[in-house]
């Protein structure tokens, strides 16, 4: 069985991967940051509410997935 590179996966799978990473961030936020009080040391953080940190993580995840998808296209163009 041959494995597929990330860039060849369907869009729905890429979206699911992004949502999974964001869900992991929400779990870290709830279980580690909120319960241990680390939020006191994080500027602009709001407990139990959407904040700049959530937006930043969403942007980072989106950019990482976009780059992972685009990287394969560049490799295929260079090596037919």
pLDDT band at 4, cuts 50/70/90?
A: confident
Question: Does residue 5 form part of some domain?
Answer: no
What was the pLDDT predicted at 44?
93
The DSSP-derived string for 23-40 is HHHHHHIIIIIIHHTGGG
Model confidence, pTM:
0.81
Residue 76 in this model has a pLDDT that exceeds 60:
no
pLDDT tens-digit series, residues 5-56:
999 999 999 999 999 999 999 999 999 999 999 999 999 999 988 999 999 9
What was the pLDDT predicted at 56?
97
The boundaries of the domain holding residue 63 are 11-78
Question: Does residue 4 form part of some domain?
Answer: no
What was the pLDDT predicted at 71?
72
Question: Does residue 2 form part of some domain?
Answer: no
Whole-angstrom Cα distance, residue 80 to residue 71?
14
Who's near 40: CB < 8 A, 6+ residues apart? none
């Amino acid at each position: 069985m041959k494995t597929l590179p990330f860039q060849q996966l369907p869009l729905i799978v890429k979206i699911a991967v992004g949502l999974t990473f964001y869900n992991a961030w929400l779990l870290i936020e709830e279980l580690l940051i909120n319960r241990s009080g680390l939020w006191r040391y994080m500027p602009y953080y709001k407990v139990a509410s959407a904040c700049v940190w959530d937006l930043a993580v969403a942007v980072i995840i989106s950019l990482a997935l976009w780059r992972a998808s685009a990287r394969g296209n560049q490799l295929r163009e260079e090596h037919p």
